[in-house]
Structure 1
């Protein structure tokens, strides 16, 4: 009986996953592996940053080391330092790593409030999509979130980038530019979050009737994500803001007047977004008019 129990215990021990698998670490004992061990097992971000530097200088998994180091720096409120690190060492990284480094850089620009640089990089990513150079020329790519892999399409990625670009314009209080971008994003891949942002752009421009019609779509649950509690709460908050703004305008009728030149400029911008034919994937037909604005 005891011998059976011992055999069972040995079998369980032999079936236990290796240490690096258990802690989601790469195998080996290189500088990068040690950096990941310090980051994930010892929970020492400052020590991990030092070791990531060593991995980069040693040429050990530079793609991953630079990206991981920048992420840890951001978590430690060292975003400006992370930006300079990516700019200084990205030329040591492979072509395949450049896209993910751009995504990290965009988040860093956002955290630091460097909106102009964020906008320019987002436009650059849209140019790559238009020219068929995103995803290494493939229509989809494999992404990872919370340890799970999933497929991202060019269409979804384009909508995501446009959403980020619209948000950046909103931080500049350039609500007209943000509106144009959000409308394009909604044509490509509509969802409740971008609809709420578009609604806010219209409220800021005192175009309350249009804002209410978009808000109704969210509240009626006709858009992706509109049934989530977060989306409904935000939509209800926007509805209260919209009602308050309309009430204020009614008490001050002069506020109802919108400059004709403003509307004319809006029409001109929207006309520039008329889809034209493209030799590339159908998604590029939808975003190609954006190229003229990207060149600005």
Structure 2
């Protein structure tokens, strides 16, 4: 039985008539005025508005709005239809969402549990406003922990020879049930075939401060290089290994006294916090992707 806190229930009440809009378009005068006028004419109350211009003269413009409107669930499609004319005139790439609609997550994990447990704790506390539909692992190690939260756990072993079959099984499990996938230290490379089903919807945590130390054993790479800072990076997954749009990063100072095991211990804390932040921002529609970068409104 999935548990929910009083805090989470309160958030659900607040979200019932709240919507979110994300906009990216070529920058030009009048965008904010047009959007604000639209919501005013619909009797919607804008409760938060953030915008960013890459370059006021010929650059891109990004905007995120949260608004309240009575009976929003029944009016959303009509709002989208009416906004279409404005969007077309400004050449907008845009989306509008119900804040009350929780994103449905699948978490993929291997043997290490720290990133997974952070997400489960934040979900249980109501800080992560999403539904964790399942956890999929290529090991059985965390079944008991996951099922204690009332979340289904699926064991799908992966070898070099069975990788294609394993990914097909993953797609069968998540198809129609999940819209975001979290790689919480899932130590497998995702194929282009799999990625095409979830563009900018797969979030990975890499245990280094990218673009430094791409690929395997980054803590050993960092130790051999004698770095004084180590970090972690949460990013969307693309075909380029560890090269997708970066969502969040953090670092911590280390010294010559720290061996590889100490770097791993220190790094686990950074990894769990960075991934949890990135997932939270994703489910709250705070991220806009442009080329290979992100604009994150927090």
TM beyond 0.5: no
More helix by share: 1
Bigger Cα Rg = 1
Q: Which has the higher contact order (CA 8 A, sep 6+)?
A: 2
TM-score scaled by length of structure 2:
0.25
Higher strand share: 2
